[in-house]
């Protein structure tokens, strides 16, 4: 593969699928570093979104929020509605403030609905309704 950023993302994805979260973290961090240095905002946003999810899974909500917030900014700038919805979802999951979480869930829901992503709409609806285990 000629693109080192995509190669790092693909390697990280494989590591995560094998349950190797630390290796996945390293791969996504490397991809983010490369994307940042080359100005590839699309792949930077993608890498940050996955770094956010990994941080959230480790219980590092502050780090997760920061990565998701940067991804949201990048996806907005790129006008990537699905990427934006996915990043907003991660922002909501890592929010410590219920009002901020609700705003993220609502915006993500609206985007998923406009894109006809039923699973995304359903997840947002569960969280907005305050259902446990959503």
Tens-digit pLDDT profile for residues 6-45: 999 999 999 999 999 999 999 999 999 999 999 999 999 9
Confidence of residue 134 (pLDDT cuts 50, 70, 90): very low
- All structural domains of the chain, each given as residue ranges with its CATH number in brackets, are 4-128 (1.25.40.10)
Crossing angle of the two packed helices 41-57 and 61-78, in degrees rounded to 10: 160
Tens of pLDDT, residue by residue over 52-84, are 999 999 999 999 999 999 999 999 999 999 999
Q: How many residues in the chain?
A: 134
What is the C-alpha separation between 99 and 125, in angstroms, rounded?
A: 15
Of 25, 34, 40, the closest CA to residue 7 belongs to 34
Contact (Cβ atoms closer than 8 angstroms) between residue 85 and residue 112: yes
What is the C-alpha separation between 78 and 74, in angstroms, rounded?
A: 6
What is the C-alpha separation between 120 and 110, in angstroms, rounded?
A: 10
What is the C-alpha separation between 45 and 67, in angstroms, rounded?
A: 9
What is the C-alpha separation between 125 and 40, in angstroms, rounded?
A: 33
What is the C-alpha separation between 60 and 21, in angstroms, rounded?
A: 14
Please tell me whether the overall predicted TM-score, pTM, comes out greater than 0.75 for this model: yes
């Amino acid at each position: 593969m000629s693109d080192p950023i995509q190669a790092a993302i693909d390697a990280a994805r494989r590591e995560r699928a094998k349950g190797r979260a630390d290796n996945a973290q390293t791969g996504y961090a490397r991809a983010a570093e490369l994307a940042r240095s080359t100005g590839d905002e699309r792949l930077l946003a993608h890498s940050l979104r996955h770094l956010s999810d990994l941080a959230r899974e480790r219980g590092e909500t502050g780090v997760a929020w920061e990565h998701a917030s940067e991804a949201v900014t990048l996806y907005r700038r790129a006008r990537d509605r699905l990427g934006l919805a996915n990043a907003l979802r991660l922002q909501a999951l890592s929010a410590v403030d219920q009002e901020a979480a609700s705003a993220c869930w609502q915006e993500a829901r609206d985007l998923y609905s406009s894109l006809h992503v039923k699973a995304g709409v359903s997840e947002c609806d569960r969280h907005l309704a305050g259902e446990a285990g959503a």
